[in-house]
């Protein structure tokens, strides 16, 4: 690990002040900034040991008071960015949002969930092996313009949706799929102000700058996520398919929420797909295809086909197209049959 200076912030304004001193220029990705935040540290320290992240100043935000709350608001739910995954997953208020609780419980391990924060979780970085190992020269995400070793390499775990010729790395997180499905918003603090962003606009597809992963500036701090209350949040679930039954990232996953009419026909559907895309992935056309229909085998299958219509598989990850479809199909059928 490279040497760094450690700061402990006890207020968000102090954290912002410190980070501005070491911020990268605005057109540079926050992850290349000289000064960076550390929350749970489970992504940061891992990647600092691998020499992928190289901050020379680290700002510990864990002791900023008031950012770890889970609260009910007039509009829905507000989840503080410093709340720990384990605490949120078992919070009673999450009972009306099972897809969120499940996306958290099915992630990582009990120890990691005790440590990791919601803010850090959505900003976790890809598990692409070439990205994580700097002895590989070609990685546009780590070193812009160097190429992409995964295009023709070991790309079994890589994405089939939202890819570009510059990067096909999968966005690995689970919780983000629940957030994007439920139309969440992100509260962002910056020096002298605050802004609110649709969660769907937080992550950027790789395009020709895979190193710029989010719409956050280096001097912005995520304060909370807001999840609007809606008729579909209770009838929701997260289905995760992986190489082993637990403690593993998704090969394919689906976050599904449905609002059904009395006769079982879909009034509104919300679908997000994990493990298969470069960013948290909302499948809006598949949602539209469900409206007005009862969720039967053929209806679910058609929605799943639509969701993967634009998939661009590579040599070793073509199986993800079929796996992803079947995961979504099963998730739709299971969600429709939930007793709520």
Partner 1 sequence: MSSAALSVAKEAAAETTPPSSAAERGGAPLANVSLEINGRTYPLALDPRTTLLDALREHVGLTGTKKGCDHGQCGACTVLVDGRRVLSCLTLALMADGESVTTIEGLAGPDGALHPMQQAFIDKDAFQCGYCTPGQIMSAVACVEEGHANTDAEIREYMSGNLCRCAAYPNIVAAINQAKHELKRA
Question: What are the residues binding ligand FAD (CB under 6 A)?
Answer: 31, 36-44, 46, 81, 107-108, 112, 115-117, 119-121, 123-124, 173-175, 221-222, 249
**Any bridge partners for residue 255, and if so which?**
238, 272
**Shortest Cβ distance from residue 28 to ligand SF4 (Å)?**
17
Q: What angle do CA 40, 16, 210 make, to 5 degrees?
A: 65
In the list 61, 161, 167, 300, the residue contacting ligand SF4 (rule: CB under 6 A) is: 167
Q: Which is nearer to partner 1, 26 or 244 (by Cβ)?
A: 244
Instruction: Yes or no: say if 91 and 79 are a contact pair by the CB < 8 Å rule.
Output: no
Q: Phi and psi at residue 267, in whole multiples of 5°?
A: -85, -45
Per-residue contact track with partner 1, 34 to 53, x per CB under 8 A? Answer: ----x-xxx--xx--xx---
Instruction: Yes or no: say if 218 and 23 are a contact pair by the CB < 8 Å rule.
Output: yes
Among the listed ranges 18-26, 96-104, 111-119, 272-280, the one in contact with partner 1 (CB under 8 A) is: 111-119
Q: How far apart are CA 186 and CA 310, in angstroms?
A: 28
Tell me the C-alpha to C-alpha distance, in Å, between residue 68 and each of 18, 39, 84, 130. 21, 11, 7, 34
Q: Which is nearer to ligand SF4, 141 or 189 (by Cβ)?
A: 141
**Shortest Cβ distance from residue 260 to ligand FAD (Å)?**
29
Residues 6+ apart with CB under 8 A from 16: 189, 190, 191, 219, 221
**Torsion of Cα atoms, 277 then 279 then 280 then 282, to 10°:** -70
Among the listed ranges 29-37, 61-69, 92-100, 161-169, the one in contact with ligand SF4 (CB under 6 A) is: 161-169
Which residue do the tokens 């090969």 mark? 251
Report DSSP state, residue 169: P
Q: Which is nearer to partner 1, 190 or 316 (by Cβ)?
A: 316
Among the listed ranges 166-174, 255-263, 288-296, 328-336, the one in contact with ligand SF4 (CB under 6 A) is: 166-174
User: Which option in partner 1, ligand SF4, ligand FAD, none does residue 2 bind, with CB closer than 5 to 8 A by kind?
Assistant: partner 1
Q: How far apart are CA 134 and CA 110, in angstroms?
A: 29
Closest CA to 291 of 277, 306, 274: 306
Q: Which is nearer to ligand FAD, 244 or 262 (by Cβ)?
A: 244
Instruction: Yes or no: say if 250 and 174 are a contact pair by the CB < 8 Å rule.
Output: yes
Q: Does 53 bind ligand SF4 (CB under 6 A)?
A: no
Q: Which is nearer to partner 1, 251 or 266 (by Cβ)?
A: 251
Taking each helix axis from N to C end, the angle separating 319-336 and 297-307, rounded to the nearest 10 degrees, works out to 140
User: Which option in ligand FAD, partner 1, ligand SF4, none does residue 150 bind, with CB closer than 5 to 8 A by kind?
Assistant: ligand SF4
Q: Does 168 bind ligand SF4 (CB under 6 A)?
A: yes
Q: Does 139 bind ligand SF4 (CB under 6 A)?
A: yes
Q: Does 6 bind partner 1 (CB under 8 A)?
A: yes
Q: Does 10 bind partner 1 (CB under 8 A)?
A: no
How big is the site for ligand SF4, counted in residues (CB under 6 A)?
14
**Shortest Cβ distance from residue 240 to ligand SF4 (Å)?**
22
Buried b (16+ CB within 10 A) or exposed e, 198-219: ebbebbbbbeebbbbbbebbbb
Coil, strand or helix: which one is 61?
coil
Coil, strand or helix: which one is 214?
strand
Q: How far apart are CA 340 and CA 338, in angstroms?
A: 6
The binding site for ligand SF4 (CB under 6 A) comprises 126, 128, 130-131, 139-141, 148-150, 167-169, 210
The binding site for partner 1 (CB under 8 A) comprises 1-6, 8, 38, 40-42, 45-46, 49-50, 56, 58, 60, 62, 108-112, 114-115, 127, 129, 132-133, 154, 156-157, 243, 245-249
């Amino acid at each position: 690990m490279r040497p760094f200076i450690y700061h402990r912030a006890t207020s968000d304004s102090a954290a912002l002040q410190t980070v501005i001193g070491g911020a990268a220029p605005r057109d540079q990705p926050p992850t290349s900034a000289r000064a960076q935040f550390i929350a749970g540290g489970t992504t940061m320290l891992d990647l600092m040991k691998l020499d992928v992240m190289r901050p020379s100043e680290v700002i510990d935000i864990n002791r900023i008071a008031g950012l770890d709350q889970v609260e009910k608001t007039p509009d829905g739910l507000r989840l503080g960015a410093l709340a720990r995954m384990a605490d949120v997953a078992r919070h009673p208020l999450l009972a009306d949002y099972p897809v969120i609780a499940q996306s958290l419980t099915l992630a990582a391990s009990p120890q990691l969930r005790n440590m990791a924060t919601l803010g850090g979780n959505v900003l976790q970085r890809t598990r692409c092996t070439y990205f994580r190992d700097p002895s590989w020269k070609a990685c546009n995400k780590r070193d812009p313009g160097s190429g992409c070793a995964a295009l023709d390499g070991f790309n079994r775990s890589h994405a089939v949706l939202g890819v570009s010729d510059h990067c096909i790395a999968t966005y690995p997180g689970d919780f983000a799929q629940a957030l994007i499905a439920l139309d969440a918003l992100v509260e962002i603090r910056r020096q002298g102000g605050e802004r609110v962003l649709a969660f769907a606009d937080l992550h950027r597809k790789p395009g020709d700058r895979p190193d710029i992963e989010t719409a956050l500036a280096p001097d912005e701090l995520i304060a909370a996520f807001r999840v609007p209350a809606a008729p579909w949040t209770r009838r929701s679930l997260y289905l995760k398919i992986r190489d082993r039954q637990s403690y593993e990232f998704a090969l394919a996953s689906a976050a599904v929420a449905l609002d059904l009419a009395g006769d079982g026909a879909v009034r509104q559907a919300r679908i997000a797909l994990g493990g298969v895309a470069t960013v948290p992935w909302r499948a809006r056309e598949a949602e539209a295809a469900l409206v007005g229909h009862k969720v039967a085998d053929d209806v679910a299958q058609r929605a799943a086909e639509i969701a993967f219509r634009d998939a661009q598989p590579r040599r070793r990850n073509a199986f993800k197209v079929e796996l992803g479809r079947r995961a979504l199909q099963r998730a739709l059928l299971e969600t429709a049959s939930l007793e709520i």
